Amino acid sequence: NAGVTQTPKFRVLKTGQSMTLLCAQDMNHEYMYWYRQDPGMGLRLIHYSVGEGTTAKGEVPDGYNVSRLKKQNFLLGLESAAPSQTSVYFCASSYSSRQQFFGPGTRLTVL
């Protein structure tokens, strides 16, 4: 039982490049979330999903897209990376209103 996993753990991009972060959970959770954490800040919600095939915007969605084609996976895409997207990205999942389980995070640097 791996819980919540994130791929990759680290990545360096150049401005304008694109990439996809993968989040996978094996707990059959309906709800999945993407957050970003910047220095001196708590985590902020980018996008979330309440079930397979559904996505919704969070607090800071600009510059990101998401997809939830399979229940266990939640993908976060950056179409044209900008230095302002340098951050640590966390994925989380939960069963309805219960405890959220977090992945280990992905450190992304955009040069």
The residues in 24-63 that bind other proteins, with binding defined as CB under 8 A, are 31, 33, 35, 40-45, 48-50, 56, 58-59
- From the number of C-beta atoms within 10 Å of its C-beta (0-12, 13-18, 19+), residue 103 rates as buried
- Are 70 and 85 within 8 A, CB to CB? no
Distance, CA of 19 to chain centre: 12
57 versus 70: smaller Cβ distance to other proteins: 57
Q: Which stretch binds other proteins (CB under 8 A): 17-25, 61-69, 70-78, 84-92?
A: 84-92
State the residue for tokens 């309440």. Answer: 50
State the residue for tokens 């990376």. Answer: 81
Nearest approach, Cβ of 25 to other proteins (angstroms)?
14
Binding positions for other proteins, rule: CB under 8 A: 31, 33, 35, 40-45, 48-50, 56, 58-59, 88, 90, 92, 94, 96-97, 99-100, 102, 104-105
